[in-house]
Chains A and B, each alone.
Chain A
Amino acid sequence: NAGVTQTPKFQVLKTGQSMTLQCAQDMNHEYMSWYRQDPGMGLRLIHYSVGAGITDQGEVPNGYNVSRSTTEDFPLRLLSAAPSQTSVYFCASSFGTGETGNEKLFFGSGTQLSVL
């Protein structure tokens, strides 16, 4: 049981490049989400999903796309990277639905992204 797995751990991009951050969980969780963590800002919700085929925006969705074709996977796409997207990105999942049970989030170990 690996929990939440994020790849890659580190990535350097040039402005304007695109890339996908991968997230997979093996706990059969319906709820998955992406956060970014910046110094002094805490964790801010980018996008979330309450099940396969269902996604919604969080606090800071601009510049990011997500899709959820399976229960296990929730990739985050940066369409045209900007220096403002330099951050540490965390994927999280929980057994909750959109209504309840999301208090216990299981986090991956993060992806450190630098955009030059």
Chain B
Amino acid sequence: QKEVEQDPGPLSVPEGAIVSLNCTYSNSAFQYFMWYRQYSRKGPELLMYTYSSGNKEDGRFTAQVDKSSKYISLFIRDSQPSDSATYLCAMREYSSASKIIFGSGTRLSIRP
């Protein structure tokens, strides 16, 4: 079993919809949780990161962590065609800063 599981999609929604992207994980020692966005033929770029449980909001993006369920989510409000990309969750243990484990990514398409 992979340490981090992510539905690969593809997920297709109309412009303006609320998008929910999710990851589950098995390692209870994970403390830092990140979301990266990757456009086609480009390297990933960091969208948001959170430490431990709770919510974090940045513009149209909200990251949620539920450590009791080992479940993290990224919500995108008022989705735009420019949000079409692959979204990768990533996480690491508190004591293992050098080893960041990525999910396999969810491909998202926003229809105009």
- Say whether A associates with B: yes
Residues of A within 8 A of B (CB): 4, 31, 33, 35, 40-45, 48, 50, 56, 58-59, 90, 92, 96-105, 107-110
Is the Cβ of B97 less than 8 Å from the Cβ of A100?
yes
B8 in contact (CB, < 8 A): yes
Known: A103-B34, A103-B49, A104-B49. A43 touches B97 (CB 8 A): no
Interface string of B82-112 (1 = CB under 8 A from A): 0000001010100001111111110000000
**Alpha-carbon separation in the docked complex, A92 to B44 (Å):** 9
Nearest A residue (CB) for B3:
A59
Is the Cβ of A43 less than 8 Å from the Cβ of B98?
no
When distances are taken between beta carbons in the complex, the residues of chain B under 8 Å from A109 are: 41-43
B6 in contact (CB, < 8 A): yes
**Alpha-carbon separation in the docked complex, A88 to B4 (Å):** 20
Distance of A109 from chain B, by nearest CB (Å): 5
What would 9 more interface pairs be, CB under 8 Å, given A98-B98, A107-B43, A110-B42?
A43-B102, A45-B100, A48-B98, A58-B99, A90-B44, A100-B97, A102-B97, A103-B32, A110-B41
**Alpha-carbon separation in the docked complex, A40 to B102 (Å):** 11
Nearest B residue (CB) for A45:
B99
Is the Cβ of A50 less than 8 Å from the Cβ of B98?
yes
**Alpha-carbon separation in the docked complex, A86 to B41 (Å):** 16
B29 in contact (CB, < 8 A): no
Is the Cβ of B98 less than 8 Å from the Cβ of A110?
no
Per the 8 Å Cβ criterion, residues 34-58 of B in contact with A are 34, 36, 41-46, 49
Is the Cβ of B100 less than 8 Å from the Cβ of A102?
yes
Is the Cβ of B46 less than 8 Å from the Cβ of A103?
yes
When distances are taken between beta carbons in the complex, the residues of chain A under 8 Å from B100 are: 45, 102-103, 105
